[in-house]
Amino acid sequence: MHATPQGTRADIDGRRAWLRLVVCMLLGTIGSVGMWSIVVVLPAVQAEFGVTRGDASLPYTLTMLGFASGNVLLGRIMDRTGVIPPLLAGIVCLAAGYALAAAVDSVIPFAILQGVIGFGAAATFSPLIADLSHWFRRRRGIAVAAAATGNYVAGAVWPLAMQLTLPAHGWRTTYLAIGAICLLLMTPLAAKLRARPPPIAGAAEAAAQASRLTAAGLTPRSLQILLSIAGLGCCVAMSMPQVHIVAYCVDLGFGVARGSEMLALMLAGGVVSRLASGFLADYIGGARVLLLGSVLQALSLGAYIPFNGLASLYIVSAVFGLSQGGIVPSYAIIVREYLPAHEAGRRVGIVMTMTIIGMALGGWLSGAIYDATGSYRAAFLNGIVWNALNILIVLFILGSVARRPGPQAVTKPSR
């Protein structure tokens, strides 16, 4: 048996690290279909199973809960074993989950299998981001953000790709095809990530991180709790357009195809936003980027309320994507700036899990509010309130920890 290769300090920010980033982006683009496919098939599933909009949102909620638990568990495994075991587990869950979901005949088993699919998709998010963060130092912000774009590229590409089979062959055939694609494409890509990360941050950097938190009157646990609550709030808000834009367009008479295009446009904007935010984080730090994204998200979310024409919805969806795409990767950047490097998989996974729980809660709340009020107006307002909670927490972090110079935040990338 060949020994698992390990990167060296010379590989940090080097050619090997950038090639690894490309593979991570490809894996994220393929595997993150597990998050977005349910959004596209939601109207068809609701009609076939004869359930309410709130009940039809349950599979999405379980998808996000599966994704959340996968980020924590697989992230913890990644810290101990490297990224390959979590990746292989994720591939199996995606392939089996889609194949079995295509055969069920009621919403409850379908929702449970969506949880399995979500768990599998998690292997291409936090574990990859945490692993990749060890391969970069000066360019960690842009690298982490770029890795996270796979999640959004999937949201931009897969809704359109699913239209190739969904209208003519239905959601069941589409699910079978997705499962096969995940198995056949992701397995050889995973093999490219066999090398273990270079040696992690030394004692001096770890001591500097700890002293920075102590000076602010915080501990690693308290900062992680703050980040987790902030992630919950921002993603309850974020979920409203992302989960319900297709159903919203159907209600307005624009149809599934127009809603899928808006979702793709929204997430394409998110890709641009994530890359720009990662670049910016290398210069001003993750916390300031997080605040900027949170404020812009609240403003763009409010724009959905007065504008519900076809053209205006395309514009607002694009603006929303450009506003919020950099928010989630900022949490991972903050974790790596201020918390122990050797716990990156676990800590990034926990914070990301709270963002995912926020997406799950927000997706369900929006459907329930729609059922109670007959429109999405109150659901948009609900999202804005949760977004305000996120902004307040980020302002506190900026006023305590992030204003104090640290080993990562003060080091600008060399040109």
CATH number for position 245: 1.20.1250.20
Rounded-to-10 torsion of CA 110, 114, 117, 122:
-170
Specify if 375 maps to a domain: yes
Q: Specify the DSSP element, H or E, that contains 152.
A: helix 140-162
Specify if 10 maps to a domain: no
406 has pLDDT over 50: no
Max avg pLDDT among 49-58, 209-218, 364-373, 379-388:
379-388
Q: How far apart are the C-alpha atoms of 52 and 120, rounded to whole Å?
A: 27
SS (H, E, C) 196-207: ECCCCCCHHHHH
Q: How far apart are the C-alpha atoms of 75 and 125, rounded to whole Å?
A: 9
pLDDT at 209: 61
Specify if 1 maps to a domain: no
407 has pLDDT over 70: no
105 has pLDDT over 90: no
241 has pLDDT over 60: yes
With cut-offs at 50, 70 and 90, classify the pLDDT of residue 186.
very high
User: What residues contact 110, with CB distance under 8 A and at least 6 apart?
Assistant: 45, 49, 59, 101, 104
pLDDT at 338: 79
What is the chain's mean pLDDT, rounded?
A: 84
With cut-offs at 50, 70 and 90, classify the pLDDT of residue 408.
very low
Max avg pLDDT among 197-206, 214-223, 390-399:
390-399
Report how many domains make up the chain. Answer: 1
Q: For Cα atoms 252, 268, 402, give the angle at the middle one, nearest 5 degrees.
A: 115
Greater pLDDT, 245 or 19: 19
Q: For Cα atoms 374, 377, 380, give the angle at the middle one, nearest 5 degrees.
A: 130
Specify if 413 maps to a domain: no
68 has pLDDT over 90: no
Q: How far apart are the C-alpha atoms of 88 and 240, rounded to whole Å?
A: 32
404 has pLDDT over 70: no
Q: Which residues pair with 196 in a beta bridge?
A: 6
pLDDT at 176: 95
> Domain containing 301: what range?
16-400
Specify if 320 maps to a domain: yes
User: What residues contact 387, with CB distance under 8 A and at least 6 apart?
Assistant: 233, 234, 236, 237, 294, 297, 298, 301
Spell out the alpha helix ranges (H) of 339-376.
344-373
Q: How confident is the model over 161-170, as pLDDT tens digits?
A: 998 999 889 9
Q: How confident is the model over 266-303, as pLDDT tens digits?
A: 878 888 888 888 888 888 888 889 999 999 999 988 88
Q: How confident is the model over 16-44, as pLDDT tens digits?
A: 889 999 999 999 999 999 988 988 888 88
Q: Which of 148, 365, 351, 386 is nearest to 243 (CA)?
A: 365
Specify if 415 maps to a domain: no
Specify if 8 maps to a domain: no
Q: Which of 17, 118, 14, 15 is nearest to 73 (CA)?
A: 118
For the beta carbon of residue 339, count every other beta carbon within 10 angstroms: 22
Specify if 2 maps to a domain: no
Judge whether 123 and 312 are in contact, CB under 8 Å: no
Q: How far apart are the C-alpha atoms of 345 and 196, rounded to whole Å?
A: 13
